[in-house]
Amino acid sequence: MAVRAQESTRTAAAGSLVSGQRFRTRIGHLLLHAVLIAFGFIFVVPFLWMIVTSLKVSGTEFTYPPQWIPHPIVWGNYRQALVDVVPFLTYFKNTAIVAAGVTIGDLLTASMAAYSFARLRFPGRNILFMGTLATLMLPNIVTIIPTFLLMRYLHWIDTLLPLIVPSWAGGSAFSIFLFRQFFMTIPLELDEAARMDGANPLRIWWNVIMPLSGTVIATVAIFDVLNSWNDFFTPLIFLNTPGNFTMSLGLGQYVVDHGGQYYNLQMAAATVMTIPVMLLFFFAQRYFMRGIVTTGLAGR
């Protein structure tokens, strides 16, 4: 009897210990929620403020204290910002041409080089691979002046070519690296079987390896499109006439020309630039994250 009583007290003690721990975890989680929500506000509010401002009647964006719900809601701002004030539709067309050109060139030439690095033995391979990766360290600003002089010599200034052509020459080292990492996970037997059938490496790359590489192709393509969409510096250097501007440059130029006024139109344009990126993230999250994480963990 006494033994039993002792036992039951022990169980009770253990039980209260467990529930105490659980209680502490719950308090911890509540605190964490509070902190994350508070901090999350800082991250969300500017974004909301951008959208709210974009829907206001010109002038009312300056009311104080801030008006959180625009009254009336002016969807026309978007039309004005995109068509009437700034020819964003033209900029969009230019950006689409650049993005398509860059993506195709990068996918073709980077994956070809990556196949050669991953599968073929040739003298100088390691040195060439190191050299390729070293370009990741090379600041854009060091090469931009000679590249500018070259493009001027070719009479390519104020055309979209300087933005597209470099990606047809091996693409970015980042893409080559991503492709190579992926190719190395594809079983070698596939190559060997194709070689037995008399296929040369070019055919194996195109007919055997590339059809299996959908995920990495998607990852690289997303990054190429995002870079073309986001890049401000390169278009600023190479483009002069508004008719040739990309979206980023067009929005930037709008700020240079009209900074300090028409914030509602500026925010409408900024929203239009941001929404597609968010959509891309939500619909292609898997590929999106893979690129970021692969390069990040390459440091290990």
Partner 1 sequence: MAVQTASIGVKQRRRRGGLLREEALWGWLMQIPNVVGLTVFAAGPLIVSFGLIFTHYQMITPPTPAGLDNVNELINDPLFPTVVANTAYVTLISVPLYMLLGLLLALALHQKLRGIGIYRTIFFLPSQMPPVANVVLWLWLFNPDYGLANWVLDLLHIPESTWIQDPVMAKPSLIILGIWGIGSGMIIYLAGLQNIPEELHEAASIDGAGTLRRFFNVTLPLLSPVIFFNLIIGIIQTMQSGFTTVYLATSSGQHQATDSGGPDNALLLFVLYIFHKGFIDFDMGYASLLAWVLFIFILALTIINFRLAGRWVYYEGQLRG
Cβ nearer to partner 1, comparing 4 with 126:
126
Compute, in degrees rounded to 10, the torsion defined by CA atoms 48, 50, 54, 59: 110
Cβ nearer to partner 1, comparing 3 with 200:
200
Q: Which long-range contacts (CB under 8 A, 24 or more apart) does 205-213 make?
A: 205/111, 205/112, 205/115, 209/115, 209/183, 210/111, 212/186, 213/111, 213/179, 213/182, 213/183, 213/186
Q: How far is the CB of 297 from partner 1 (least distance, A)?
A: 6
Q: How far is the CB of 72 from partner 1 (least distance, A)?
A: 20
Cβ nearer to partner 1, comparing 60 with 212:
60
Cβ nearer to partner 1, comparing 217 with 245:
245
Q: How far is the CB of 286 from partner 1 (least distance, A)?
A: 13
Q: How far is Cα 156 from Cα 44, in angstroms, rounded to an integer?
A: 42
Element (H, E) at 131: helix 125-134
Q: How far is Cα 42 from Cα 45, in angstroms, rounded to an integer?
A: 6
Cβ nearer to partner 1, comparing 3 with 89:
89
Q: How far is the CB of 195 from partner 1 (least distance, A)?
A: 9
Q: Tokens representing 232?
A: 């401000």
Q: How far is the CB of 35 from partner 1 (least distance, A)?
A: 7
